[in-house]
Amino acid sequence: MSSVFIGLANLVQMVCTVYIYVVIARALISWVSPDPYNPIVRFLHNATDPVLYRLRRLLPFQPVTLI
């Protein structure tokens, strides 16, 4: 039974690692003004938007004022 839990833990860890790489790829792509119709860009946005939307709602946004 413990090997099942170890296998599940490894699977969850692998999925989280892949998702982190997808988020990093989206951040890197956003620096170069990507074509929104590119299939890779659309995949990155579709894969990360649900989670990032929830995070943006939870984190308070405070605009920076320059003096």
Look at residue 43 in the predicted model and tell me its pLDDT.
94
CA 41/CA 29 separation, integer angstroms:
8
What is the CB neighbour count within 10 angstroms for residue 53?
A: 10
CA 19/CA 13 separation, integer angstroms:
10
CA 67/CA 60 separation, integer angstroms:
22
Phi-psi region of 34 (alpha: psi -120 to 50; beta: other; left: phi over 0): beta
CA 10/CA 15 separation, integer angstroms:
9
Q: Where are the domains of the chain?
A: 12-48
Per-residue pLDDT tens listing for the chain (67 residues): 889 999 999 999 999 999 999 999 999 998 998 888 999 999 999 999 999 899 888 888 777 777 7
